[in-house]
């Protein structure tokens, strides 16, 4: 279930970022993959720092 929350967060933030126009980023074909990785990584790191991963393990498992 934790992966669903992180995945939905990644999808939401990634979708919002796609609406920000940037000609320089559009030239780089790898950017969507790099951006998706960074959003997922930062979302997961944010949940870890906020203590939500630990809370989820203690209360949902």
**Position 22 pLDDT exceeds 70:** yes
Please give the pLDDT value at position 16.
83
CB-count exposure of residue 43 (10 Å: 0-12, 13-18, 19+)? buried
Please give the pLDDT value at position 49.
94
pTM assigned to the model: 0.66
- Report whether 5 contacts 53 (CB < 8 A): no
Tell whether the torsion through CA atoms of 2, 44, 37 and 22 is positive or negative: positive
**Position 61 pLDDT exceeds 70:** no
C-alpha to C-alpha distances, 50 to 2, 6, 33, 54, nearest whole angstrom: 14, 13, 26, 9
Cβ-based neighbour number of residue 47 at 10 Å:
18
24-51 pLDDT, tens digit per residue, is: 767 777 777 888 888 888 888 998 999 9
């Amino acid at each position: 279930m934790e992966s669903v929350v992180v995945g939905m967060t990644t999808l939401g933030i990634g979708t919002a970022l796609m609406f920000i126009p940037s000609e320089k980023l559009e030239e780089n074909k790898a950017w969507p993959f790099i951006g998706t990785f960074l959003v997922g990584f930062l979302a997961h790191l944010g949940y870890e720092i906020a203590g939500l991963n630990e809370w989820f393990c203690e209360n949902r498992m």
